[in-house]
Structure 1
Amino acid sequence: MLSPRESATRERVSLDGLWRFALDPEGRGRSERWWTDELPGDVEVPVPASFNAVLPGRESHDHIGDVWYQRVVRVPRGWDGERIVLRLDAATHRAVVWVSDTQVAEHEGGYTPFEADISEQVRAGEPVRVTVVVNTELHWDSIPPGFVQELEDGRLLQQYFQDFFNYAGLNRSVWLYVTPRTHVDDVTVATTGIDGDTGTIDYRVAVAGDGGHPVRVVVRDAGGAEVARADGAEGTVRIEGVQPWRPGAGYLYTLEVAVLGADGEVVDVYPQPFGVRTVAVDGTRFLINGEPFYFTGFGKHEDFPVHGRGFDPAAMVHDFHLLRWIGANSFRTSHYPYDEAFLDYADRHGVVVMDETAAVGLNLDTGAGVLNQAGPMETYSDSTIDARTQETHRQAIRELIARDKNHPCVVLWSIANEPDTVSPAARPYFEPLVAETRRLDPTRPVAFANFLKATPDLDVISDLFDVLLLNRYYGWYVQTGDLVAAERLLEGELREWAERGKPIVMTEYGADTQPGLHSMLREPWSEEFQIDLLAMYHRVFDRIDAVVGEHIWNFADFATRAGISRVDGNKKGIFTRDRRPKSSAQALRQRWHGTEEPQPDTTRNVQQDPQQDLQGDVPQGVQQPARQA
């Protein structure tokens, strides 16, 4: 699905801001047709934001079911006669949308966009009422899965199998945009090769509306100069003197796609940014532009105080600067697709991304009895994860690739996090999903993040994938505090995986750490223990050539459900939830930048140059930490 971009034939208007809002704990809104009138009450909430983070009190924080958003908007008067589209960048976890009294859209899945042509429901220059009902529930056939449990006293409790809070609502932007009736409907840019100083790309364009219109594409460099062109809705373009997209150097071209009229006039034009780069797996090496790449970085979350999972450009830019400061060259969109603005920024700045679906919690062995106290359950069955879940999962993969296929920063699709892959039923569940991912995009490797119990002798699906992503917690959940035993177990398992002949990225490892807690004995939960545990993992990585990356869990502390093992959230962050560094941040900066920590310059007036410490060197990513014998 194309992002709403402005061009000579297209305009867009943001509908972000304050919307009327109503909780619907009794589920009356649909039967009483709340969309036909002003919502009850006088509550307003910001969009984008997680309502259950913004509104104080348990009623909103723990709400299960429908919530309602409403806003009156005015369609620009210059849009008369054009195709007018209402787009929601996400609604968590499902939504129905009305314009005035007419339903115009319905969508399942909380992290990918959907839209509706509302040309027949609106008039240019006139106001119109937009109402959205968002349902927060997780079910067995949703991604991620869950179920609503009724307690003995009649209260409802949302059960789920993920270790992050179920923030919901309109967490991303809402737009009105306009295109001509005949318009560019889709663009696919697939980088197929770099030969010396020549880049070759294949492209495909879909046109909607009146048939028979010719298509012309023009490639422009970062300065806007034309460097290549071609005619036709499908073809190959050669770029002489190509400037590749590289880790740490995000050079972008623009494919300017034009639909032409009978006399050659431009009917519609859509600008699609892209980068020229190749991705490949060669034995145990992960290659970008034919060069070995070593991942340094984190699993992250869209999570911040007050607005929860709501997109905030200030928080996003701050996080990217922290990634740069610490020397990270990459991150995983754990455990769902992030707002597309993250990928746009990563494209421009050369940050590498593992793009993950929202398929987290497909493992009742880890979730039941630990995260939700619901008792033991079988992961794959007719009453839990089944064919309906698989179909929702398949659609989530389709929508992820449709949205993100043109981003050069995305080098790998991760289609699940920590599923149960010990059960024999995992193979018939995942095998068609892997095939579908490769059918939709044959240019990128496919992977999933492997759970601790799915060791090489027990896992039943890893042979289907191109890269081994491993989540391991030796020294924390296993052999807690005993880093000598943990190091032995970790190295033993990694050497077994290395025999598979595939690249290995450790996508989760770490320890909960309370900021400010110090220990002479370097005990668990102390900042000293976090440093020691990470150093142990890094020693092991440096001894095993098949390891091509390290993503620490987590970039920052994040919100979870309350519990005796989660006091004020998950504390495995290298930064606190409000982005203060723990002691481990400096140790990581030394490792990932490959230099000793610079000594402070006592002659510099810090107040005159407060940003200098955040700059650092841009990590190029093709060098890995020095191997040790």
Structure 2
Amino acid sequence: MLKPRITATRELVNLDGLWRFAVDKPAVPQPWHALLDGGTEAAVPSSYNDLFVDPEIRDHVGWVWYQRTVRVPRGWAGDRILVRVDAATHAGRVYAGNTLVAEHQGGYTPFDADVTDLVVAGEEFRLTIGVSNELTNVTIPPGSVTVAQDGRRSQKYLHDFYNYAGLARSVWLYSVPRTRITDITVVTDVDGTAGTVDYSVETSTAAEVRVRLRDEAGAVVAAGDGANGRLRVENAVLWQPGAAYLYRLEAELFDGDVLLDSYPLDVGIRTVEVRGTQFLINGEPFYFTGFGKHEDSPVRGKGHDDAYLVHDFQLLRWVGANSFRTSHYPYAEEVIEFADRHGIVVVDETAAVGLNLAVTGGLSGVGTKPTFSPETFGDQTQAAHAQHIRELVARDKNHPSVVMWCLANEPASHEDGARKYFEPLVSLTRSLDPTRPITYSVVMFATFRNDKIADLFDVLSLNRYYGWYLDNGDLASAERNLEKELRGWAERFGKPLIMAEYGADAMPGLRSVWDIPWTEDYQQAFLAMCHRVFDRVDAVTGEHVWNFADFATAPGIHRVDGNRKGVFTRDRKPKSAAHDLRTRWKLARRPASPRSSGS
């Protein structure tokens, strides 16, 4: 899945800005792809929920509609013309005039709509995009819709972040030649001091393919002919965590001497491998330091914002983080590209969060219904999950910063049916990309004694909250229990352990000389306790604090204006714990891997 780019043969128009906006009203049926009226406008990209003060918009369940007039550049005659929606959360429909041209399920991966036969170069057309925020037992992520006695619809879901919706990423109009490159796949390796780049170029119709690889100075370092081949780079500069180096692959299609299409792709030469309890990048042990994050900011919700992107990466660098997990969905592709350019390692996660009905049972971990069944999460859910995996891998397979796929966050991996559900998804992921390890984030209910799928995965990512949800306020007991569990996982499975989540809520400015939960001091003490344990367990190969910054959640008695486990506030001010992490990760010069692979 190639991201639209401006090249010698392709053009691109950004459609971000203010769009006409309306919420769907089932009681007043109308053709929403017709001209919208009412004067309401919404910003793209952004989630619509926090833009307005009207609770009927913020809490709306169902379809909303965006619309604008688009002029096709007059030079595009003879090309294919497409609309690209980078994300429509959680389902999208695209209309050109009155004609439905595309539908898509899944809120965090892009899709295209071909409008060639419905528009004219140099003229305008009406573009309408519908977005639905409804979640059901057959969507990823899952949820349910309830109807109150007065007819109000309410969206319920099993994840602990606000269900922001709308066009949270950019919308584009772009042109491509009729004979064009449709996809490129690269796989890199290292052979002594040389690097290799295996490439595959897919085309719409047969054409002559030529490929060049340039270094960062623009010099050609390798070239090849044909749709498939291997490029060898002598004395290659490798893409390294903290030291990104990107070559540029230029793929071109020719008919004789006539250029038909061209597409550039940044390539980082590097290898990824799991060996014993070590995670290796370029053959060297790597220790993950960083966070689970969220696409979340005031007013914009999950709307992508380049200013926040730059500032967040500055804070990652300041605190000494070398990585993050895209919890709990694929982030905007601009985020992954930025990580490519700046040497930040990414664990790329699907939107499969909430596949766990045990959360309704509280800390007992006993749900009222089995998680995996035809009536709850069955074949249709699994099929939707599989499609999410296909689209995620298709979008991000060529990014060097992405070193591992995370297939789900906190599924009910301890329940009957988990293996039947996940084993085909693991096989699918390996068939789509055999080069990267895979993981899943393990919920606290699933232990090394009862988990049913851990052996299927390469790395075990553990979400553990001893000292917060368990042993709250008792860090001595929390330290003993956390170490006991980590050693149990290490001894049973002998795989790398990443602490994918550990953290404690802290209200900025709330202080105490005692270990009182919700204070900044307790958050500091909690993290220090966890780090002592990690340093004693050799199999631990990474630590991702939950969370990078405070974020919005559904309102309720368990949250005070959102989730407060961030070490930065929602507007990115550091809490005291951020300074402690900086000391551990950066100022103390923690090595990439502090231990050997032995237990």
TM-score by structure 1 length?
Answer: 0.93
Partners of 2:568 and 2:368 lie apart in 1 by 34
Which is further off, 277-286 or 216-225? 216-225
Match status 1:44 vs 2:41: yes
Check whether the contact 2:538–2:595 (CA below 8 A) recurs between aligned residues. Answer: no
1:364 to 352, 357, 364: 357
Partners of 2:281 and 2:257 lie apart in 1 by 40
Superimposed CA distance per residue, residues 230-276 of structure 1 (whole angstroms, 9 cap, x where no aligned partner):
00101111011211000001100111000111x23211000011100
2:348 to 355, 359, 362: 355
Opposite residue 528 of structure 1, the aligned amino acid is D
Map of 2:431 onto structure 1: 439
Which is further off, 283-292 or 60-69? 60-69
Superposed counterparts of 1:154-193, under 5 Å: 154-191=151-188, 193=189
Check whether the contact 2:17–2:44 (CA below 8 A) recurs between aligned residues. Answer: yes
1:146 to 135, 143, 148: 143
Match status 1:289 vs 2:282: yes
Map of 2:216 onto structure 1: 222
Match status 1:344 vs 2:330: no
**Structure 1 gap ranges (5+):** 597-618
Map of 1:55 onto structure 2: 52
2:202 to 192, 206, 209: 206
Cα gap change, 1:270/1:27 in structure 2, threshold over 3 Å: closer, same or farther?
farther
Match status 1:256 vs 2:250: yes
- How far the C-alpha of 1:7 sits from its partner, in A, is 1.1
Superimposed CA distance per residue, residues 404-458 of structure 1 (whole angstroms, 9 cap, x where no aligned partner):
0000000000010000011120000000000000000000001100000100001
1:450 to 439, 442, 455: 442
Q: How many residues align?
A: 594
Partners of 2:593 and 2:181 lie apart in 1 by 41
Opposite residue 622 of structure 1, the aligned amino acid is A
Map of 1:548 onto structure 2: 541
Superposed counterparts of 1:462-541, under 5 Å: 462-499=454-491, 500-541=493-534
Map of 2:415 onto structure 1: 423
Partners of 2:56 and 2:180 lie apart in 1 by 45
Superimposed CA distance per residue, residues 281-318 of structure 1 (whole angstroms, 9 cap, x where no aligned partner):
00000000000000000000000000000000001110
Map of 1:16 onto structure 2: 16
Opposite residue 49 of structure 1, the aligned amino acid is S
Which SS does the other structure have where 1:120 is aligned?
A: helix
Partners of 1:622 and 1:513 lie apart in 2 by 29
Map of 2:240 onto structure 1: 246
Match status 1:265 vs 2:235: no
Map of 1:4 onto structure 2: 4
Partners of 1:464 and 1:559 lie apart in 2 by 33
Map of 1:606 onto structure 2: none
Check whether the contact 1:19–1:70 (CA below 8 A) recurs between aligned residues. Answer: yes
Match status 1:459 vs 2:455: no
Please list every run of at least 4 consecutive aligned residues from structure 1 whose deviation after the TM superposition is greater than 4 angstroms.
623-627
Which SS does the other structure have where 1:52 is aligned?
A: coil
Check whether the contact 1:27–1:65 (CA below 8 A) recurs between aligned residues. Answer: no
Check whether the contact 1:331–1:352 (CA below 8 A) recurs between aligned residues. Answer: yes
- How far the C-alpha of 1:382 sits from its partner, in A, is 1.8
Which SS does the other structure have where 1:187 is aligned?
A: strand
Which SS does the other structure have where 2:465 is aligned?
A: coil
Which SS does the other structure have where 1:466 is aligned?
A: coil
Partners of 1:370 and 1:282 lie apart in 2 by 36
- How far the C-alpha of 1:83 sits from its partner, in A, is 1.1
Map of 1:90 onto structure 2: 87
1:571 to 550, 564, 573: 564
Partners of 1:398 and 1:305 lie apart in 2 by 31
- How far the C-alpha of 1:622 sits from its partner, in A, is 2.6
Partners of 1:14 and 1:114 lie apart in 2 by 15
Map of 1:409 onto structure 2: 401
RMSD across aligned positions (CA): 1.6
Opposite residue 2 of structure 1, the aligned amino acid is L
Cα gap change, 1:510/1:27 in structure 2, threshold over 3 Å: closer, same or farther?
farther
Which SS does the other structure have where 1:87 is aligned?
A: strand
Partners of 1:203 and 1:331 lie apart in 2 by 28
Opposite residue 346 of structure 2, the aligned amino acid is V
Superimposed CA distance per residue, residues 383-419 of structure 1 (whole angstroms, 9 cap, x where no aligned partner):
2111000000000000000000000000000010000
Partners of 2:362 and 2:37 lie apart in 1 by 39
Match status 1:322 vs 2:322: no
Check whether the contact 2:467–2:478 (CA below 8 A) recurs between aligned residues. Answer: yes
Partners of 1:81 and 1:369 lie apart in 2 by 59
Which SS does the other structure have where 1:39 is aligned?
A: coil
Check whether the contact 2:215–2:221 (CA below 8 A) recurs between aligned residues. Answer: yes
Which is further off, 145-154 or 12-21? 145-154
- How far the C-alpha of 1:103 sits from its partner, in A, is 1.0
Map of 1:33 onto structure 2: 31
- How far the C-alpha of 1:55 sits from its partner, in A, is 1.2
Check whether the contact 2:479–2:533 (CA below 8 A) recurs between aligned residues. Answer: yes
Superposed counterparts of 1:582-593, under 5 Å: 582-593=575-586
- How far the C-alpha of 1:40 sits from its partner, in A, is 2.9
Superimposed CA distance per residue, residues 545-587 of structure 1 (whole angstroms, 9 cap, x where no aligned partner):
1100000000000000111111100000000001010001111
Map of 1:607 onto structure 2: none
Cα gap change, 1:272/1:27 in structure 2, threshold over 3 Å: closer, same or farther?
farther
Check whether the contact 1:592–1:625 (CA below 8 A) recurs between aligned residues. Answer: no
Map of 1:605 onto structure 2: none
Partners of 2:26 and 2:300 lie apart in 1 by 25
**Structure 2 gap ranges (5+):** none
Map of 1:195 onto structure 2: 191
Opposite residue 592 of structure 1, the aligned amino acid is W
Partners of 1:477 and 1:101 lie apart in 2 by 52
**Percent sequence identity over aligned pairs:** 58
- How far the C-alpha of 1:323 sits from its partner, in A, is 0.3
Opposite residue 199 of structure 2, the aligned amino acid is Y
Which SS does the other structure have where 1:460 is aligned?
A: coil
Which is further off, 264-273 or 354-363? 264-273
Check whether the contact 2:10–2:175 (CA below 8 A) recurs between aligned residues. Answer: yes
- How far the C-alpha of 1:95 sits from its partner, in A, is 1.0
Check whether the contact 2:541–2:593 (CA below 8 A) recurs between aligned residues. Answer: no
Which SS does the other structure have where 2:116 is aligned?
A: coil
- How far the C-alpha of 1:99 sits from its partner, in A, is 0.4
Partners of 2:361 and 2:278 lie apart in 1 by 39
Partners of 1:32 and 1:528 lie apart in 2 by 56
Check whether the contact 1:293–1:624 (CA below 8 A) recurs between aligned residues. Answer: no
- How far the C-alpha of 1:153 sits from its partner, in A, is 3.4
